[in-house]
Copies of this chain bind each other. A is one copy, B any other.
Amino acid sequence: MHQHLGAATMAHEPDWLREARSSLEAGLREAVADLEPFSHRAVAYYFGWQDEHGRSSPGPSGRRRLGSLTLLAACLNGGDWHQALPAALACELAFNAAVIHDDIIDHDHTRRGRPTVWTLFGEAAAILAGNALTAVAFDVLATARPAQAAETTGWLARTVVQLNAGQLLDVRFEDRTVVTLPDYLAMVDGKAGAFAECGCALGAVFAGADAETVAGLASFGNRLGLIWQLRNDYLGIWGDPALTGKEPRADLKSRKKTYPVLVALAHGGEERERFADLYRSSPPGLLSDDASHLAADLIEQCGGREATLRETRRLLDEALAPLEHLVPDTTAREALSALATAFALSDR
């Protein structure tokens, strides 16, 4: 195991991770196989196994980063990823249920270049498919490890509650003109932090880690989730479209209140006023290409770009610091560190 872990940046996928990911995919297929046929079609489409007509598709949609993180957490201190497969499945199922619901809530029509579930199958089917996936996640945890079901299902339940709180904060931001950075970080903590935390914790529990290691990895996972979100926020403005697969400055065009935007709005001075006017008062709908260019420049002049990179680095330090005494094995520790760094510096 350990000779592989050393190479576990997401950029260069090691053999064990490719194998683990393929087991994860097979496990997902099996977990949802008995769903009601119409729900199954919606889910198989969402996961990228089928097209909208139910015909076989080339491959999975999404990178299963959460599941991979869960499996990696299990590998530390001598564990084996196979042990944590049900934990990774449960996290992916519940997390993707939330994504399906999020697309309804945000009225998003496309995800990863394909129509969203609710636009193709209807809102009712999308709500119900999400509910079914979450329930299957609990069933997988309860069935795989009966003796630890209280701990694992309880952890997942509290994570789902947190996630819902984060999603609700996010929705309510849309209606507010003033969103503070602490509000934003509380929302990210619920949405991205809680699930990465749950993945790391359950991975460790399934690999038989002690309570201290579980708590330490949970906290590492939480920071990693925040890093993940801040990096996304960064790429939503300054990412290379060729690598992200998204439109240039997509987040600015849809006037999202992301971390760099909120930093700029919290700034003083003339650039801040120009940016605020541009973001708020231009006609409704998407910002034009030119306007989004200007907005990106103004945000940078207000320090939004630098602050986002700085906060990401700070979170990375915070994530890595406690690993030293938690993960005695230096190879394993380096793998985690490489993963976290890869998240923080990801270009897509």
Give chain B nearest CB distance to A144 CB in angstroms.
9
Contact B132 A164 (CB under 8 A): yes
Q: Which residues of B contact A151 (CB under 8 A)?
A: 142, 146
Pair A139/B154 contact, Cβ less than 8 Å: yes
A143 CA to B124 CA, complexed, in Å = 31
Set B39, B104, B142, B165: member contacting A157, Cβ < 8 A: B142
A105 within 8 A of B: yes
Chain-B contact segment, one of A167-175, A296-304, A321-329: A167-175
Tell me which of B123, B145, B153, B164 contacts A39 (CB under 8 A): B164
Q: A135-B160, A146-B150 are in contact. List 19 more A-B contacts (CB 8 A).
A: A35-B161, A35-B165, A38-B172, A39-B165, A104-B127, A105-B123, A124-B171, A130-B131, A131-B131, A131-B164, A132-B164, A134-B134, A134-B135, A136-B157, A136-B161, A139-B153, A139-B154, A139-B158, A141-B153
Task: For A291, list chain B residues within 8 Å (CB).
Answer: none
Contacting pair A39 B168 (CB below 8 A): yes
- Tell me if A167 and B128 are in contact (CB < 8 A): yes
Contacts of A134 in B (CB 8 A): 131, 134-135, 160
CA distance A129 to B169 in the complex (A): 12
A169 touches B135 (CB 8 A): no
In the assembled complex, how far is the CB of residue A42 from the closest CB belonging to chain B, in whole angstroms? 9
Copies of this chain, count = 2
Instruction: Judge whether B157 and A138 touch: CB under 8 Å.
Output: yes
Structural contact, A128 and B35, CB atoms closer than 8 A = no
Within 8 Å of chain B (Cβ to Cβ): is A214?
no
Beta-carbon contact of B125 and A168 below 8 Å: yes
CB neighbours of A305 from chain B (8 A): none
Q: Nearest 10 CB-CB pairs, A to B?
A: A146-B150, A36-B165, A149-B150, A135-B160, A139-B157, A142-B154, A149-B149, A138-B157, A105-B124, A132-B164
Of B130, B139, B147, B171, the residue contacting A161 (CB under 8 A) is: B139
B-side contacts of A253, CB under 8 Å: none
Q: Which residues of B contact A143 (CB under 8 A)?
A: 150, 154
Contacts of A153 in B (CB 8 A): 138-139, 141-142, 149, 153
Cβ–Cβ contact B128 & A164, under 8 A: yes
How far is it, in angstroms, between the C-alpha of A136 and the C-alpha of B161 when the chains are bound? 7
Chain A, residues 76-94, CB within 8 Å of chain B (1/0): the string is 0000000000000000000
CA distance A55 to B172 in the complex (A): 21
Cα-based distance from A269 to B139 in the complex (angstroms): 49
13 A-B pairs with CB atoms under 8 Å apart are A104-B123, A130-B131, A136-B157, A139-B158, A141-B153, A142-B150, A142-B153, A142-B157, A143-B150, A143-B154, A146-B151, A147-B150, A149-B149
